[in-house]
């Protein structure tokens, strides 16, 4: 099997795997919709007091909320994607089997995670976003090119998200327990991706720092591209830069780990 077909098959397998969890998907749709409603009313109250906060009007703020709920599971903002399985395989020693496969370890897990992300987008993200569009005023573009530009930004966001979580997963080569790093991943993911508040609302130096960190590529960039608040090309350059930097860092860390570290369990 050619390498392209191999990784495509891995992505399809990742999609199908998550498609089997229908009850969990339905529960996730319900949860994201409820949290979306809560956040929307919180945002509306905040924007009533601070009109055009962060450069957004109320409709844009509402759009940001529902896009965040759409991408919450898609980008595994709190973790729970490929890194969870990878850390388990490192801990048990099953990673040794993966290393013997005639496939690149990082690309294998990237393909699997992209398959998962696609299912979560379609299965868990679309319904809450559509619900928001029906029942709340949203700043949705009428130009199809902005939707296409946002789709490209979403693909790059998924790659950046994986690259961050892959680095976290590789820490299991040295740590006996990944609970601590997973908690850190959850906190940084929620805060610095803009899941709680748009990053352009963050004040002063905190905002300047948050907007140049890789987490900004996950929600803030796709949202600004969709609403016409960011030049798509500049957003792509920012996202691609972090994707390359983090993937290269992951490959270097993977190389060091597989050469020098004894895998727990085998």
Give the pLDDT confidence of 108-145 residue by residue, as tens digits.
Answer: 999 999 999 999 999 999 999 999 999 999 999 999 99
* pLDDT for position 100: 83
Interatomic CA distance for residues 26 and 123, integer angstroms: 8
Contact criterion met (CB below 8 Å) for 162 and 114: yes
Interatomic CA distance for residues 199 and 242, integer angstroms: 17
Torsion, Cα 17 18 20 22, to 10 degrees, reads 180
**pLDDT > 70: what percent of the chain?**
97
pLDDT interval class at 2 (50, 70, 90): low
Residues 29-53, buried b or exposed e (16+ Cβ, 10 A)?
beebbeebbebbeebeeebeeeeeb
> Using CA of residue 244, residue 246, residue 247, residue 253, what is the dihedral sign?
positive
Q: What is the mean pLDDT of residues 65-80?
A: 93
Q: Does the pLDDT value for residue 247 go beyond 50?
A: yes
Q: What is the DSSP letter of 125?
A: I
Report the chain's mean pLDDT, rounded to a whole number: 91
Q: Is 228 left (phi over 0), alpha (psi -120 to 50) or beta?
A: left
Q: Does the pLDDT value for residue 266 go beyond 80?
A: no
Q: Is 93 left (phi over 0), alpha (psi -120 to 50) or beta?
A: left
Note the pLDDT tens digit of each residue in 15-63. Answer: 999 999 999 999 999 999 999 999 999 999 999 999 989 899 999 999 9
* pLDDT for position 260: 58
pLDDT interval class at 91 (50, 70, 90): confident
Note the pLDDT tens digit of each residue in 163-186. Answer: 999 999 999 888 877 788 888 888
* pLDDT for position 40: 96
* pLDDT for position 262: 57
Instruction: Name residues whose C-beta falls within 8 Å of residue 67's C-beta, 6 or more positions apart in sequence.
Output: 129, 219, 222, 223, 226
- Least confident range from 5-14, 168-177, 238-247: namely 168-177
* pLDDT for position 10: 93
Tokens representing residue 3 in the block: 């390498």
* pLDDT for position 44: 95
pLDDT interval class at 230 (50, 70, 90): very high
């Amino acid at each position: 099997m050619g390498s392209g077909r191999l990784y495509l098959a891995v992505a399809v397998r990742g999609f199908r795997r998550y498609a089997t969890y229908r009850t969990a998907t339905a529960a996730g749709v319900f949860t994201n919709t409820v949290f979306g409603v809560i956040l929307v009313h919180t945002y509306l109250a905040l924007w009533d007091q601070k009109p055009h906060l962060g450069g957004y009007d109320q409709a844009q703020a509402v759009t940001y909320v529902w896009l965040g709920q759409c991408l919450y599971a898609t980008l595994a903002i709190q973790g729970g994607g490929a890194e969870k399985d990878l850390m388990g395989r490192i801990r048990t020693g099953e990673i040794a089997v993966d290393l013997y496969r005639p496939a690149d370890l990082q690309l294998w897990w990237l393909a699997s995670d992209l398959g998962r992300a696609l299912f979560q987008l379609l299965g868990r993200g679309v319904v809450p976003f559509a619900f928001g569009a029906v029942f709340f005023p949203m700043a949705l573009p009428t130009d199809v090119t902005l939707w296409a530009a946002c789709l490209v930004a979403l693909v790059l966001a998924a790659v950046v998200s994986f690259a961050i979580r892959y680095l976290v997963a590789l820490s299991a080569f040295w740590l006996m327990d990944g609970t601590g790093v997973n908690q850190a991943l959850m906190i940084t993911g929620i805060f610095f991706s803009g899941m709680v508040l748009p990053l352009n609302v963050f004040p002063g130096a905190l905002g300047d720092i948050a907007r140049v960190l890789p987490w900004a590529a996950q929600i803030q960039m796709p949202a600004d591209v969709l609403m016409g608040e960011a030049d798509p090309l500049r957003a792509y350059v920012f996202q691609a830069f972090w994707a390359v930097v983090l993937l290269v860092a992951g490959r270097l860390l993977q190389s060091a780990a597989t050469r020098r570290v004894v895998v727990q369990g085998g």
